[in-house]
Amino acid sequence: MPPLASILQDHWVLLLSAAFAAFVCNRLFTPPAELAHLPRVPVLPLLWSYFTGEVEDKRIKRLLMPFAERGEAQIARDISADITTWPKEEPPDDLLLWRLVGKTNVILSNGSNWQRHSRVVKSALQRNLPIKDFVTLAHRLFRVMKDGGKLRWDDLAMRFTLDAVGSTTFGWDFNSIEDTSTPFVTEYSHVMDSIANPLYIVFPKLETLLPRKTIITKIDALIAKFTSILDEKKENKGNDMLTYMLEDPEMSDTEFRDNMVVFFIAGHDTTAGAMSSLVYYFAKHPELQARARAEVRAALGDAEPTIDNMRATPFVQACIREALRVNTPIVYMVPRASARPAELVSALGKRYVLPAHTSVILNICAMHYNPSYWPNPASFDPDRFMNKNDKEVASVDASLWMPFALGPRQCPARNFALYEMRTLLCMLVREWEWALPADSAHAGGLQNGFSPFALSLPKDMDVVFRRRDKGEGEA
């Protein structure tokens, strides 16, 4: 039998260990006193959701929506509009995602630096809306689809948008539509999958304690390839966004490169996800697919899409907007941090006082599913957006629809992305019809893949396509 002193010592060790663990948990999981008055989601279920690989949209609807329904759109409007009080939060150095993306770009910069980035990027985007490039890529995609049959659409959409961002933004042909093993694309996909370890996302300090040197080497190699594209573009200018940006003498090579990475990531993942959602909802609602097809045939006939003839496709545009609402590709925005003590006031007069340096994230998915703003929010109903005036402004409150964010910091490529989707969808419904296969994993609802980067992108979505005969009418 152990002596009494040894037993007491063991008990003290256990008690001290338990006290230390309780102290750490309290520091980690209890909000500061100045924020204790705010409603909050329990931390442990949230962490468990990440560790078990629960997809973003399901996590939000299960854990966050009860709180979102208490919220007010006015707060989102105010934070988005006041970029002086609510600048973008400085991203943590630990996360490897920021090693890839960088911080000197139009998304993450603030103040005069952001104004400079915004001016250069917007000027480049306004120089050319590359509808003809989108048309050419759509024809390449259709050749790969051959006569249709059962095809993995989310993969095809990703390959289309990769080539779209490559050709129109960088003047570079990744050739991913025809070649599924393009080295650049393969390396990018591997890097993003490696970065997305939930344990390192939730506890970014692990990147310092247990550095992933192999992944860091691959990230740096990928960054070097972006730099190589930039160097070649300086010598061989073209009719693309990067060429136009290079005309500005004030931006450094690092700033150009960081913006390239942002455009590459934002320009294909999210657009491909939106196109997959659109194809899914048209497969589930053949009557909407037929309605869009009839509109496109009336507006375009056999002509290729142009800005002018696509103006006569308001229902197609409404379907795009509704798909971006129902399955928002980017679930929440880059955090803002209060530059000084701030007070937020809801439309109902509820006041929230926040100290300086408080991080605030606007959750787009929660806003898009709030039944106070969107009746039957889970339903795919494009007619929500159909009551428009001659400027194509929807009758719904525009500030409630926020897939591209709101205010001065909204996505500068919004128009670019909407026309890319509109061009492809017009051509797709005119030349093809489609449905889900009988054994589809998506038959009971759209299934997104896991992403620790706040993305909701359909995954492994097989679709059965049939190429329509020229001049074929609706059944």
- The answer to whether residues 265 and 196 touch, using CB atoms and an 8 Å cutoff, is no
Q: Is residue 460 one of the residues assigned to a domain?
A: yes
The confidence band for 8, taking pLDDT boundaries of 50, 70 and 90, is very low
What does residue 267 show for φ and ψ, rounded to 5 degrees? -80, -10
**Residue 425, pLDDT above cutoff 90:** yes
Q: Is residue 48 one of the residues assigned to a domain?
A: no
Q: Is residue 3 one of the residues assigned to a domain?
A: no
Q: How far apart are CA 359 and CA 361, in angstroms?
A: 7
> pLDDT at position 7, please?
43
Beta bridge partners of 336: 88, 360
> Does the pTM exceed 0.75?
yes
Percent of the chain residues past pLDDT 90, beyond the cut: 52
**Residue 107, pLDDT above cutoff 80:** yes
**DSSP-derived secondary structure letter, 345:** E
Who has greater pLDDT, 112 or 33?
A: 112
The confidence band for 23, taking pLDDT boundaries of 50, 70 and 90, is very low
DSSP per residue, 16-48: HHHHHHHHHHHHHHS--GGGTTS----HHHHHH
Percent of the chain residues past pLDDT 70, beyond the cut: 88
Mean pLDDT confidence for 181-201: 83
251 vs 117, 119, 124, 412, CA distance in Å? 8, 11, 13, 18
Q: Is residue 39 one of the residues assigned to a domain?
A: no
Q: Is residue 14 one of the residues assigned to a domain?
A: no
**Residue 27, pLDDT above cutoff 60:** no
**DSSP-derived secondary structure letter, 436:** -
Q: Is residue 202 one of the residues assigned to a domain?
A: yes
> pLDDT at position 34, please?
67
The confidence band for 466, taking pLDDT boundaries of 50, 70 and 90, is very high
Q: Is residue 5 one of the residues assigned to a domain?
A: no
The helix or strand, by DSSP H or E, that contains position 463, with its residue range, turns out to be: strand 462-467
**Residue 70, pLDDT above cutoff 70:** no
CB atoms within 10 A of CB 134: 24
Name the domain count of the chain.
Answer: 1
CB atoms within 10 A of CB 176: 22
Q: How far apart are CA 24 and CA 41, in angstroms?
A: 19
Q: How far apart are CA 409 and CA 402, in angstroms?
A: 12
Choose the most confident range, by mean pLDDT, from 200-214, 337-351, 453-467.
Answer: 453-467
**Residue 392, pLDDT above cutoff 50:** no
> pLDDT at position 442, please?
94
**Residue 227, pLDDT above cutoff 50:** yes
Residues 289-300: tens digit of each pLDDT? 999 999 999 999
Mean pLDDT confidence for 46-50: 74
Q: Is residue 105 one of the residues assigned to a domain?
A: yes
The confidence band for 254, taking pLDDT boundaries of 50, 70 and 90, is very high
Q: How far apart are CA 71 and CA 59, in angstroms?
A: 18
Of 114-118, 233-237, 257-261, 393-397, which range is least confident?
393-397
The confidence band for 26, taking pLDDT boundaries of 50, 70 and 90, is low
Distance of CA 248 to the CA centre of its chain: 28
CATH number, domain of 213, equals 1.10.630.10
Average pLDDT, the chain: 86
Mean pLDDT confidence for 407-425: 95
> pLDDT at position 376, please?
92
The helix or strand, by DSSP H or E, that contains position 213, with its residue range, turns out to be: helix 213-235
Of 41-45, 115-119, 166-170, 299-303, which range is least confident?
41-45
**Residue 218, pLDDT above cutoff 70:** yes
Contacts 24+ apart (CB under 8 A), 1-7: none
137 vs 161, 233, 332, CA distance in Å? 9, 21, 30
Question: Which residues span the domain enclosing 180?
Answer: 54-467
The confidence band for 71, taking pLDDT boundaries of 50, 70 and 90, is low
CB atoms within 10 A of CB 265: 19
Token pair recorded at residue 450: 């896991």
25 assigned ligand-binding residue:
no
